[in-house]
Amino acid sequence: MPNQLTYRDVFRFVPNLIGYTRVLLTGAAAMSMYYRCPTSMFLSYALSELLDAADGHYARKLGQCSKFGEVLDMVTDRCTTTILLTYLAELYNSRPLALLFNLITVLDISSHYMQMYSQLITGKTNHKQMDADAHWILRAYYTDRRVLFAFCFGNEAFFLLLYVNKFIASSAALYFSVALTLLAFPLFLIKNTINVIQLYESAKDLAKLDAATLNSQNKTASAAASRKKI
């Protein structure tokens, strides 16, 4: 009989060790932001985002997929993006942009939380599992890892380039960086459109579940009342 796993074994899964590394890199990126070390910030943040693809790869390859790892990955993603958007709101010193960055943060957190909660409460194994009747955009986004990586990478690259553009001294380098920012913009736009769809579809799934539950309760109550009359 094989040895039984303990929670400590799950904590030591390779993809989860990668997840802890991402947390440390996010902390290093945040510290670099506020201590005005843009090179260190760029390297830490970019490496954290690249490792985001590695943890899932090794989880599947080594048979080490876990609920803890899924939540660790999602929480790290949300915290990493929130830290950068919060700093961008300060860095650009513009009320309209600060409002926009805050709205993007709210959309990012709420859409993913709603998606995870609705998937789990309706019996799915994780928030990326899509039924045949799921919205076609969400199916394409979550079932093809290349599509998922492209939009997530493009979205984070757009935010990171907005940060980098504020610290580039060379005109030629700035032109190149701005060009990359413009190339990443459509990916950012589509990714956040997907977040809006995800938020609505998840809310709809929860409301459908509520309606079905209440209809069942009302039917049971009506049947009980009818028996009492008899």
> What is the DSSP code (8-state) at residue 93?
T
Is 77 an annotated catalytic residue?
A: yes
Cβ atoms of 29 and 41 within 8 Å: the answer is yes
Residues 6 or more apart in contact with residue 160 via CB below 8 angstroms: 42, 45, 46, 49, 84
**Side-chain-facing half-sphere of 55: CA atoms under 13 Å:** 28
Kindly name the residue from 52, 73, 77, 205 that is annotated as catalytic.
Answer: 77
State both tokens at 142.
């979550």
Closest to 158 measured CA to CA, from 144, 179, 128: 179
**Active site members:** 77
